[in-house]
């Protein structure tokens, strides 16, 4: 059995937060293109140097570059039982590339997490992340609960950049709702609720769709 998930939704919708719960629930790898790119920036690799300024402005890096990164990542054997993609695809050409990449595998199940722009701006204004490992801070502490690193605002969470990320989402990523919307494996959940309630909804929706389209469980 193979579960191939795509998490769709605006910045701050909770894609990363949900993916961290869901990867444990289904035991499939969480593949966050944003996290992979931030690691490359932090490590100063050629990829990181190429994308740093674009990420800091809230723009998208090229379809070609990110698709190369994802193609390589999906070829890893740890995705044989599925994967949880967070932040890819983000454009129609990326979605078309992904359809090609998963040809012959279990169908993609697409989860759109819906959140208003006002709530996105509110959430990201106060988000803190670990400067060492990039994990979102939880609660009131001043250090990362995962690794003990110091907490800082994320580099692309300044309000002007958040507004640009929202515009980029509207213009380039929202068309994916249309692209995927008619598939039987497409579902939407309301992201404006307690994280555990959102997780429960996603699990129910995904397992219902998986049971109709694959030999699940």
How far apart are the C-alpha atoms of 135 and 146, rounded to whole Å? 8
Closest alpha carbon to 58 in 176, 163, 172: 163
Omega into 99 within 30° of 0, i.e. cis? no
Q: How far is the CB of 12 from Mg ion (least distance, A)?
A: 8
How far apart are the C-alpha atoms of 19 and 5, rounded to whole Å? 10
Cβ proximity to ligand AP5: between 68 and 212 the closer is 68
- Please tell me whether residue 15 binds ligand AP5 under the rule CB under 6 A: yes
- Please tell me whether residue 16 binds Mg ion under the rule CB under 5 A: yes
Q: What is the CA radius of gyration of the chain?
A: 17
What DSSP character marks residue 158?
A: S
Strands 129-130 and 151-152: antiparallel
- Please tell me whether residue 37 binds ligand AP5 under the rule CB under 6 A: yes
Which of the stretches 14-22, 67-75, 183-191, 208-216 binds Mg ion when contact is defined by CB under 5 A?
14-22
Burial class for 206, CB neighbours closer than 10 Å (0-12, 13-18, 19+): buried
Name the residue with tokens 């674009």: 54
Q: Active site includes 90?
A: yes
Which of the stretches 23-31, 95-103, 187-195, 202-210 binds ligand AP5 when contact is defined by CB under 6 A?
187-195
- Please tell me whether residue 199 binds ligand AP5 under the rule CB under 6 A: no
Task: Check: CB of residue 125 under 8 Å from CB of residue 160.
Answer: no
Cβ proximity to ligand AP5: between 185 and 199 the closer is 199
Q: Which of 23, 38, 123, 165 is catalytic?
A: 165
- Please tell me whether residue 135 binds ligand AP5 under the rule CB under 6 A: no
Q: Active site includes 105?
A: no
Task: Check: CB of residue 204 under 8 Å from CB of residue 128.
Answer: no
Q: Active site includes 167?
A: no
- Please tell me whether residue 10 binds Mg ion under the rule CB under 5 A: no
Q: Active site includes 23?
A: no
Residues marked as catalytic: 15, 90, 127, 154, 165
Binding site for ligand AP5 (CB under 6 A): 9, 11-17, 33-34, 37, 54-55, 58-61, 66, 87-88, 90, 94, 123, 127, 136, 156, 165, 191, 193-195, 198
């Amino acid at each position: 059995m193979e579960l191939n998930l795509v998490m769709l939704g605006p910045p701050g919708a909770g894609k990363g937060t949900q993916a961290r719960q869901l990867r444990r629930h289904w035991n499939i790898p969480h593949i966050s293109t944003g996290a992979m790119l931030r690691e490359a920036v932090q490590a100063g690799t050629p990829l990181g140097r190429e994308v740093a300024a674009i990420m800091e402005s809230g723009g998208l890096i090229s379809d070609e570059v990110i698709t190369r990164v994802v193609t390589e990542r999906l070829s890893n054997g740890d995705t044989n039982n599925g994967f949880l993609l967070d932040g890819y695809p983000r454009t129609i050409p990326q979605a078309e590339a992904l359809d090609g990449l998963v040809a012959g595998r279990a169908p993609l199940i697409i989860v759109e997490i819906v959140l208003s722009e006002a709530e996105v701006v509110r959430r990201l204004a106060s988000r803190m992340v670990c400067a060492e490992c990039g994990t979102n801070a939880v609660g009131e502490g001043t250090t990362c609960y995962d690794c003990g690193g110091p907490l800082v605002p994320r580099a692309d969470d300044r309000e002007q950049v958040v507004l640009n990320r929202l515009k980029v989402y509207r213009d380039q990523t929202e068309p994916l709702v249309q692209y995927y919307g008619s598939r039987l494996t497409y579902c939407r959940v309301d992201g404006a609720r307690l994280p555990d309630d959102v997780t429960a909804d996603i699990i129910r929706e995904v397992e219902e769709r998986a049971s109709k389209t694959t030999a699940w469980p």
